Amino acid sequence: MRPRLMIVLLGCCLRALPAIAQTEPEIHALTEALPPLSYDENGAHKGFSNELLQMMLHDSGLRAAIQVKPWSRALREAQQVPNTMLYLAVRTPEREEMFKWVGPALPLAIELFRLGGPRALPYTSLDDARRAVVAVARDTPGQKMMERQGFVDNQNLMLTNDEAQSARLLYAHRVQFSVGVGLFQRYAARQQGQNPERLDSVQVLDDSTRFYFAMQKDSNPDYVARLQAALDKIKQDGRYAALLKRYNHP
């Protein structure tokens, strides 16, 4: 009886293999911990970009396996394997040929910040920042902007791991300015027990910044087209506007 039972069980397992293979997700999605866009809470992926991605996957009929990694590592890995998605990523001329782009998903300005209040540092131009130290997240468009303006790492530029660290250094007075996105840095300040209203924007460095879902350049074009169509539909039927409103983004 036992050999026959084992044969029957083995046959059942073999018949189930195609079904298991079919459940493999089509997309390997990489993101960073960047609240309120993307963060993990009790094992669940939360935040604006994760909610938007889930809507797009539902409407497109695609599935994704999501991993949270440091931004620099995610950026490197997303360029290597087809059907890998990096989100959300700023679309820049330097990155244009690296990916196929789905979006735009979110418009966000890149700004230069100081701590406001009675003791706020005077600011009239970037020359004031050049004589100070500016924190900016590594491997971001903000870093490229500052370097093009003549800022140098370990001199008047301090590279950080993410926007939250930039905000932490600014509130701790270890730097005099920070570069990044107000939505991210104000959220980080609030999470760190600081008053986000003290974050004072002194100059908009780029107000044309657009965040996208970036697919590795050799990814299946059908997947890219289905995701773009899903995003377009979400924008048209009101779900996108409702999501922006829920995250207090104009």
Residue 10 lies in a domain: no
As for how many domains the chain has, the answer is: 2
Q: Looking at the structure, do residues 184 and 135 belong to the same domain, yes or no?
A: yes
Q: What is the pLDDT of residues 192-243, one digit of tens each?
A: 999 999 999 999 999 988 999 999 999 999 999 999 999 999 999 999 999 9
User: Taking Cα atoms as reference points, which of 53, 47, 68 lies closest to residue 191?
Assistant: 47
Amino acid at 17: L
pTM: 0.71
List phi, psi (to 5°) of 9: -65, -40
3-state secondary structure of 215: strand
Residue 70 lies in a domain: yes
Cis upstream peptide for 141 (omega within 30°): no
Q: Looking at the structure, do residues 115 and 201 belong to the same domain, yes or no?
A: yes
Q: Are strands 157-160 and 99-107 parallel, antiparallel or unpaired?
A: unpaired
3-state secondary structure of 92: coil
DSSP 29: E
- Domain that residue 180 falls in: 110-206
Q: Looking at the structure, do residues 103 and 125 belong to the same domain, yes or no?
A: no
Q: Looking at the structure, do residues 201 and 124 belong to the same domain, yes or no?
A: yes
Residue 3 lies in a domain: no
Q: What is the pLDDT of residues 158-197, one digit of tens each?
A: 999 999 999 999 999 999 999 999 988 998 999 899 999 9
If one counts every other C-beta atom within 10 angstroms of the C-beta of residue 82, the result is: 12
Residue 15 lies in a domain: no
- Average of per-residue pLDDT values in the chain: 90
